Chains A and B, each alone.
With several copies, the nearest count.
Chain A
């Protein structure tokens, strides 16, 4: 996929993967957890009032559960859905790397990342078009910020 000039920014942004995730998001519905370490975070996008509540359960250094609820635009909904797909079941270290790559993608102004990072990101590479719209980066990051914070809470829980 090249950094558009043929296709409009709009089509580059709302790729089919994103539309699909937005329509049928994964991981939606908070899961009751009975784990030694769990954490929750509530994030609000103050420009539009969108919110996400996200819960993680840790099993050692593995993310054994990630669920969420909330409302928002297709970008924020699809993004947290993809996040669920990418990190549930993964080790924290791996999730951190994925998150770094996603943040980098958001800062790339619409340019694709190198292959290694794209491999890490999987479906999330579809968000490349968002990086061209500073106002929408917040939407795409909302779930990821909640995830980061929930992990911090879970670790507090652990100690």
Chain B
């Protein structure tokens, strides 16, 4: 265990489920549980300081603004960015769309001269990978449709690892954007970021990293990774729902046109035209998710207090039990690399397919045992298709996951083939 009494910080973990069974929560890859400090930070804001930020001149507005911007600084610290390189977004999906739509808007003539560097059109290419979550695929498809650019993708092998043999052809002089995930939400594999970024830089393509599954589980430093943009979600990193963030290099953020237009993001508005503020404000039109930002800041501080190195070590311990245990069940296929579960390139995720049993049926048996997991395609239809599947059953961990939780999953999973009368 990470910290013996860390689980006490998470009120929900005390719950019981079906017929009074203790809850084994292994769906953190979908959304994590929240420690009390996060809930308290939000509640305290509402009960003592709630006001519109950055606009008002009264005391509450000052206090709210200080808390809001302090939270931004905390999230920036967690990922090694500076404060004005963090833009709040509703979730990681919104953060990724902000980049894609901004490029689309620049290409449609919005944003003036400074936005010209982002223009793309027919003949240009956007590159993604076959392992992407829909959130880092569909926005790029739409951008391709909007601009006439071509969408390409880096394929994966049978283990779900990106195949870099043809990287030079996939990412070439025509490539304007390379968008890829840091960690797969299905195989748990950590991507070869350095090789991909180096190639993108060599051809002058922008890099957009999906940090949804890395930031909550590993030390992540955007400066060291040297990416241009990175998206993350609070609700997967012990923070509230309704908030995420986009990291972007300041000089890029200051030039990218917004895609949500409104108050608080603009400098001067006449009926005819509008000029925008600098980043991050230009991207934060409307009343911000203030309480949620403050909650995300509290989550970032909570993680930093544990220490991301220790979070990562805990992650590997759980990964070994989860993936190692699953690999030994006859008739169960583990997606992603098998046999090197304790190596440095997977996080504590185990997505499995049980021969002859549909994922919904697998999930039902686990649910009955009090084990909460995710069933379906996990917003990764292309990768499942690549594996010849339509879905899988996924267990995923977080700081509060115990070795016993992981073992409970393995044990309950082992009963599935017999229950449905299939035998390996």
Q: Does A44 have its Cβ within 8 Å of any Cβ on chain B?
A: yes
Report the bound CA distance from A38 to B358 in whole Å.
31
Interface size on B, residues (CB 8 A): 32
Q: Does B376 have its Cβ within 8 Å of any Cβ on chain A?
A: yes
Find chain A residues with CB under 8 A from B390 CB: 48-50, 71
Find chain B residues with CB under 8 A from A48 CB: 358-360, 375-377, 390-391
Find chain A residues with CB under 8 A from B361 CB: 14, 73-75
Q: Does B19 have its Cβ within 8 Å of any Cβ on chain A?
A: yes
Report the bound CA distance from A92 to B118 in whole Å.
40
Q: A23 near B421 (CB under 8 angstroms)?
A: yes
Q: Which of A8, A19, A46, A136 contacts B360 (CB 8 A)?
A: A136
Which chain A residues have a beta carbon within 8 Å of chain B's beta carbons?
8-10, 13-14, 19, 23, 44, 46-50, 71-75, 133-136, 139
Nearest CB in chain A to that of B391: its residue:
A48
Q: A8 near B19 (CB under 8 angstroms)?
A: yes
Most buried by B among A44, A46, A75, A134: A46
Find chain B residues with CB under 8 A from A50 CB: 358, 360, 390
A71-B390, A135-B57 as given contacts; A49 in contact with B376, CB under 8 Å: yes
Most buried by A among B266, B360, B420: B360
Report the bound CA distance from A134 to B367 in whole Å.
13
Q: Which of B365-410 contact A (CB under 8 A)?
A: 365, 368, 375-377, 381, 384, 390-391
Q: B376 near A74 (CB under 8 angstroms)?
A: no
Which chain B residues have a beta carbon within 8 Å of chain A's beta carbons?
18-19, 54-57, 61-62, 65-66, 266-268, 277, 357-361, 364-365, 368, 375-377, 381, 384, 390-391, 419-421
Report the bound CA distance from A151 to B109 in whole Å.
34
Report the bound CA distance from A73 to B356 in whole Å.
10
Find chain A residues with CB under 8 A from B56 CB: 135
Task: Give the number of residue pairs across the A-B interface with Cβ within 8 Å.
Answer: 72
Report the bound CA distance from A111 to B197 in whole Å.
49
Q: Which of A44, A74, A136 contacts B420 (CB 8 A)?
A: A74
Report the bound CA distance from A44 to B65 in whole Å.
20
Chain B nearest Cβ from A79, distance in angstroms: 12
Q: A13 near B364 (CB under 8 angstroms)?
A: yes
Most buried by A among B19, B358, B375, B384: B358
Q: A46 near B277 (CB under 8 angstroms)?
A: yes
Q: B376 near A73 (CB under 8 angstroms)?
A: no
Chain B nearest Cβ from A108, distance in angstroms: 16
Find chain B residues with CB under 8 A from A46 CB: 266-267, 277
Q: Which of A8, A72, A133 contacts B358 (CB 8 A)?
A: A72
Find chain A residues with CB under 8 A from B65 CB: 134-135
Q: Which of A9, A19, A49, A134 contacts B18 (CB 8 A)?
A: A9
Q: A73 near B359 (CB under 8 angstroms)?
A: yes
Find chain B residues with CB under 8 A from A47 CB: 54-55, 376
A8-B19, A49-B391, A135-B57 as given contacts; A73 in contact with B360, CB under 8 Å: yes
Among all A-B residue pairs, the 4 with the closest Cβ atoms: A73-B358, A73-B360, A10-B368, A49-B390
Report the bound CA distance from A134 to B66 in whole Å.
9
Report the bound CA distance from A10 to B62 in whole Å.
16
Nearest CB in chain B to that of A130: its residue:
B364
Find chain A residues with CB under 8 A from B61 CB: 135
Q: B420 near A135 (CB under 8 angstroms)?
A: no
Report the bound CA distance from A135 to B361 in whole Å.
12
Find chain B residues with CB under 8 A from A73 CB: 358-361
Other than A71-B390, A134-B65, give 12 A-B pairs with Cβ distance below 8 A. A8-B368, A9-B368, A14-B364, A23-B421, A44-B268, A46-B266, A47-B54, A48-B375, A49-B391, A72-B358, A74-B361, A136-B364
Report the bound CA distance from A9 to B20 in whole Å.
13
Report the bound CA distance from A72 to B376 in whole Å.
11
Report the bound CA distance from A14 to B360 in whole Å.
12
Report the bound CA distance from A9 to B419 in whole Å.
14
Report the bound CA distance from A19 to B65 in whole Å.
28
Nearest CB in chain B to that of A71: its residue:
B390
Chain B nearest Cβ from A68, distance in angstroms: 16
Find chain A residues with CB under 8 A from B266 CB: 46
Chain A nearest Cβ from B49, distance in angstroms: 13
